[in-house]
Amino acid sequence: MGQQAWTRRVGRWQNAGRPGALGSWPHAVEARSLKSNLERQNQALQTALLELRRELATKQQYAGRLEYLLHERLERIDELNAKLDQSRQQVRRLGLENEVLAAMIAAPQLNADILTPAPK
């Protein structure tokens, strides 16, 4: 293999033996530079993706906890509504009982002398 001569033509380095060859050193340097730049960008994107996945997992856990708490709260509300309905029914029954007792008290008292038979 012979020695290759490098020349600068129109602002670019070219291999004199093979003008415009892609294997010429300026292109190789550019390719390595581009490759390292792309690798850095790729690494940065992978890091960002990991952070976003962690953030998503955290938010999903938070949403799951909120759903659980909502379920517990709705169950408690249902229990309290049932107690309230029972109390309302008890108040109605006591109201009716009160009306009956008030009517009994308000009714005229029969004289016990009238009800007892007269002596013979």
DSSP labels for 6-40?
EEEETTEEEESSSTT-TTSHHHHHHHHHHHHHHHH
Q: Per the domain annotation, does 36 fall within a domain?
A: yes
Give pLDDT, residue 7: 52
Q: Per the domain annotation, does 58 fall within a domain?
A: yes
pLDDT band for 88, please (50, 70, 90 cuts).
very high
> For residues 61 and 20, which has the higher predicted lDDT (pLDDT)?
61
Q: Per the domain annotation, does 11 fall within a domain?
A: no
Q: Tell me the two tokens of residue 107.
A: 């009714």
- Specify the number of domains making up the chain: 1
Domain, as residue range, for 63? 22-104
Kindly report the pTM of this predicted structure: 0.50
Q: Per the domain annotation, does 5 fall within a domain?
A: no
Q: Per the domain annotation, does 98 fall within a domain?
A: yes
User: How confident is the prediction for the chain on average, in pLDDT?
Assistant: 82
Give pLDDT, residue 1: 44
Largest Cα separation within the chain, whole Å, is 162
Give CA–CA dist 104/97, Å, rounded: 11
pLDDT band for 83, please (50, 70, 90 cuts).
very high
Give pLDDT, residue 120: 64
Q: What share of the chain is helix, strand, coil (3-state, %, to 5)?
A: 70, 5, 20
